[in-house]
Structure 1
Amino acid sequence: IFSPPKAQASQRNKPLQVLALGLSRTGTESLKRALEILDYDHVYHGFDFLKHPDQVLQWVPLLEQKIAGRKDFSAGDFDGIIGHCEAVSDLPCSALSSELLSAYPDALIITNHRKNVDDWYASYYQTVDPLVTNWWYSFLCHFEFEAYWARRLVCRVQDIHYHGDFKHRGKEGYENHYANLRAEAKDRCLEWTVEDGWEPLCSFLGKAVPEVDFPRGN
């Protein structure tokens, strides 16, 4: 319906050091803010594509190519979007976990998760899933340029994680995502929850523990 926004490609000008590849609603905002406190220069988060809608044009084709079976992703596919970032968190990066792990083999991996999958499911179902399933929002998106493309991105993320059916396959998708992530990340992976706070995170990253409380995001 809408022509895509014109993308403004960037180039990588600093190494990508940290891939926080946990699903949305697993402390991704808190982790983003924590990594920024630890002096990682720009931590990409789902908020970024909402602030910069032109980036959706770059993300959506990558997600749709993955769904179509493409295997030959490289850092060059991602640096045009996240070349200015030293770390990433949240969607859409979580939906391209395998591809990012392969593209950035020197990055450290954080598998941020929730201790209780039922709590995670309820949180996601109430906040993220309605962006896809709410009929009124879906209808309005056909008349609002940025909302249309943002919804399309979230739809593709849910196709990858939950086969397009979060209500019935959300928990299955959660378990599969983390099982695959742990198998692929192996010895460069930190298992972490927001409740763990600074100490294990800083130890894993080789950083001093800041003299501030751990940030709490939404």
Structure 2
Amino acid sequence: MSWIPDSILHALYGTAPPHRTKPMQVLAVGISRSATESLREALHILGLEHTHHGFDTILPPYDLEEIYRLLRRKYTPGNLKLTRRISILILNTRSDLDAWYASMEATMGYFDRNPVDWDWVKSWFCAELFWVRQCMCRTLMPTFFKGSFARNGKEVYKEHVQMVRTLMKERGEEGRLLEWSVEDGWGPLCEFLGKDVPEGLEFPSGNPPQAWAERIARTTEVYHIRALRNMAIFGAGVVGVIGVVVALAGGYV
């Protein structure tokens, strides 16, 4: 889809992204399925709102069109420059790489496969579904995972972790990086952020694949309904045009 000008995509599927109202304070740069939801909830409890999470790419307030353009910039050689001091970073990781891979395959793996199915058809009739497909299936997953998560997922995971470490070291900002896993709990996270450990509060639980799928289905239902409605309108329009053409053609027989 990169061959279609952005102006045409915006005209067909344009959305109005939300605007940031608070300065960025923390970047959590771990790959999806590395306790990102647990960390998000923990940061909320500690008073850091709003945290942008993978769910924000498909749940309201919705900004996937803007994310798509940022990804295009990121993956254009020589087009990504770091011109300001990096916010403090949390590199959230999974200690069990095989478990991470299995979790990704059971969730994000759908976007890696990008099947031409009923959802694919509906994506052309709803802006939100279009940008989910455009961003996740056609841009992020194939580019980040070098063409295939199934083949390259584990290697890319290791490369990403090392890249973050190297970047902060080269900038002399190792002290602004926290490597953290969910097993570490509140202690290291609160110390790094200068926050008190919440008393009597367990660290937020995870986001297992089944719960992930159910939440996606539940919260995107309105998009699918809108797509079906637009498909019906489009189909009725096509039938109407054909009817007019047939009628006019009949007049000349």
TM category (shorter chain) comes to 0.7 to 0.9
1:148-182 deviation per Cα after TM superposition (whole angstroms, max 9, x unaligned): 21122113221332112000011111011111011
Distance change in 2, residues 1:158/1:207 (3 Å): same
- The count of residues paired between Structure 1 and Structure 2 equals 189
Question: Which of 165, 190, 196 pairs up with 2:178?
Answer: 190
Partner of 2:108: 128
Partner of 2:33: 25
2:196 corresponds to 1:208: yes
Q: Which residues of structure 1 form unaligned runs of 5+? A: 74-101
2:94 corresponds to 1:114: yes
What TM-score do the two structures reach when normalised by structure 2?
A: 0.68
Amino acid at match of 1:118: D
Partner of 1:141: 123
1:7-55 deviation per Cα after TM superposition (whole angstroms, max 9, x unaligned): 34625x4331110000000000000000000001211111112123751
Q: Distance in 1 between matches of 2:18 and 2:196?
A: 34
3-state secondary structure, aligned to 1:32: helix
Q: Which has the higher contact order (CA 8 A, sep 6+)?
A: 1
Percent of aligned positions that are identical: 39
2:155 corresponds to 1:172: yes
Amino acid at match of 1:146: E
Structure 1 ranges of 4+ moved more than 4 A: none
Question: Which of 186, 199, 210 pairs up with 2:187?
Answer: 199
Partner of 2:248: none
Question: How big is the alpha-carbon RMSD for the aligned residues of Structure 1 and Structure 2?
Answer: 2.1
Q: Which residues of structure 2 form unaligned runs of 5+? A: 2-8, 208-253
State whether residues 109 and 185 of structure 1, in contact with CA within 8 Å, keep that contact through their aligned partners in structure 2: no
Largest Rg, 1 or 2: 2
What TM-score do the two structures reach when normalised by structure 1?
A: 0.78
